[in-house]
Structure formats: structure tokens, C-alpha cells
Amino acid sequence: MHNFQQHIIHQNESILKAFELLNHVPETLTLFAVNEAQQMVGTLTDGDIRRAFLAGKTTNDQVKDFIHTSFISIGEQTTPQAINDMKKRGIHLLPCLDDKGCITRLIDLKKTKTILPMDAVIMAGGKGERLRPLTNNTPKPMLPLGGKPIIEHNIDRLITYGVQNIYISVNYLAEQIEAYFGDGSSKSINIQYLREDQFLGTIGALSMVKHFKNPHVLVMNSDLFTDVDFEDLYLNHQEKGAELSVASIPYTVNIPFGIMVRENGQITGLKEKPSNTHYANAGIYLINNKLINNIPKDTFYNATDLIEDTIKRKGKVIDNPITGYWIDIGRHDEYNKAKEIMKHLKP
């Protein structure tokens, strides 16, 4: 996401002012013109200015005389398909407008995979006792991995999927996490903190949020190191009409013996050193907003409780296997494994 203010120019400003602004905007040399009500009225590029000069304009002429008033934008709620269509059309910088026509953010489509209609909650309140002494004075989510904290990898990944509103549940050494990320403005997102006075389990902190902006909420543990495809998770959730989706990882059990197939004490067959693949909870959940009302307030409540309660009332719960890498950094060996993988990833 861009700091969009540097791309804004008033429609009554001069060409000279536009030149000055274009010298300071990054990469995509585009300005967005607004009127007195801060509503977007057009776009302006360096090529437009050159064409204005060829048409006899001077540096004192107003930009409103040669802006493009037929521009492409999106609203606060969009779909992954709409974003894919924009990319196919070669659009790189996309303004997002509110219901009054004012710019709320600019989306760099070169750096953004898609825009998913979801908020996110990152659970970061644990003590990380199995990683001591590393966590004696540092919360586990803030342990360094490839030059930045573990949790920052997850936040940055959410940003590439267009997630703007992130809540972080904090408890142990919370002030370090809050001081590092602040309100999220340094990353052009909104970060709020859910301060647990007592531990509320893996998902109990969601009951502290009065209102989520989007219809879906993604919940994940802060100590995961993964390249999970959030768009795939979302599309699968939508396609199957799920209330709750659980990301899963395959876990294969290899039996080093020949196994007898038995029925009523009789051997009916043999299986030589079989392997069985099971799917384990990956600590990433996509939840329909309305389902959060079922989470009790100020109560220790785990994600597994929500899964079981939803199944009991015949709600639809599905799993979504992760095909890339996934590490739960809960022990020293897992932390070392994550650091080793990090060495081989492209910057």
C-alpha cells in the first residue's frame, strides 16, 4: 500500500506544482487530482504534462484542464476477480474510494497479490516458554528471523493480500510489540491491540473486538513461518459455503512393519510397511464474521472449542491443506529450521 498523500494534487494547482510533485513520487509517476471536497476528479501523469506543453500550455496553467476524468477506481469492498482483471489491463496503481468519492488508499498492484475482504487477528500473547532463554526478555513473536521479527513476516504477507485492518492480541511483554508496530501507519495499515489481562486461549480475544469491518476474519498464530496462500483459503471458503475454514498440514505416519489386515481374528490380507497421511491443524482459521458472536466474552476459549461447537450445531467446517512450507516456531529446533529455510528464500 502507498502513502497516498504524496500522489494527491488539487485540480486548481499549476502544471509547475504537478512537476514538483511528480519528482517526489515513487516508481509509478501518477498524480490523482481532487476537488475542494477532496473527491477524486481525475489522474495525471508526466506524459500528460508533456502533451499539455505540445498543445501550447504553460507552467502556470491549471492541471484541471488536462487531467483524465475517465479513471478507474474501486470501492471499499471489492473482489479478488476484480483485482485480477485490473492486473490484466496493465493497471499498476489503483485508487480506492469511499462512498463520497474520496481516496482512502492507493493499491500498488505490482506488490499486491489481491484484495481480500477480510480483517485479521494475530494471536501474540503467549510466553514462549519452550524457547527460553531466548524469550526471557523478548516475546516469541519478536524473535528475529531473516532481519525482522517472526510476526512481521506474517503481517507483511497479509498486506500483500490487501488486508488493511489487523488486530494483535498481546499479553507477555506486550509493550515491545506495540512499540515496534505502533498503529500500523508505517506500513499504511491499521493495527489495534487486544490486551489480554488474563490468558483467553487461542481465540478468546476475538470477543474483545466490538466490530469487524469486513465479512470475514482471518485468525492466525503469530509464531508461524509459512507461505500459505490466503487467496486460495478465501476462495475455497466461499466456494464451499463454509462458516469456518481451518488451514491444515499433511502429516504422514510411516509404519516400518508389515501390517496384518484382520477381521474377527482372521487374517484377510497384508500391507507391507504402509504409510498413512493425516491432516493436522495449522493454526490458521478463516471465520465468517457472524460466527464470532458465538465466542464467549472474558472466557478462556480455544479455536478447537469453536470448531467443535460449530460442528455440534451442524455448521459447515472445512479444511484447506497448505501446499507450501509451514513451521510452528515453538521449539529451538523449529526456530533453527525456519532460519535455515529463510537463507534460501528470494529477498
Question: Would you list the DSSP string of 26-85?
Answer: -SS-EEEEE-TT-BEEEEEEHHHHHHHHHTT--TTSBGGGT-B-S---B-SS--HHHHHH
**H-run or E-run covering 283:** strand 275-288
Distance CA 52, CA 65 (A): 9
What confidence score (pLDDT) does residue 28 get? 66
Spell out, as residue ranges, where the chain has pLDDT lower than 50.
1
Task: Give exposure, 194-218, as e/b (b: 16+ Cβ within 10 Å).
Answer: bebeeebbbbbbbbbbeebebebbb
DSSP 232: H
Q: Could you report how far apart the first and last alpha carbons of the chain are, in Å?
A: 19
- What is the chain's alpha carbon radius of gyration, rounded to the nearest angstrom? 25
Q: What is the pTM of this model?
A: 0.82
Which domains are assigned to the chain? 4-108 (3.10.580.10), 118-343 (3.90.550.10)
Pairing state of beta strands 30-34 and 8-10? parallel
Q: What residues form DSSP beta bridges with 259?
A: 271
What confidence score (pLDDT) does residue 334 get? 92
Query: What tens digit of pLDDT does each residue of 89-98 get?
Result: 888 888 888 8
Plot region of 298 (φ>0 → left; ψ -120 to 50 → alpha; else → beta): left
Query: What tens digit of pLDDT does each residue of 49-108 get?
Result: 888 888 787 888 888 888 888 888 888 777 788 888 888 888 888 888 888 989 888 888
Pairing state of beta strands 165-170 and 190-195? parallel
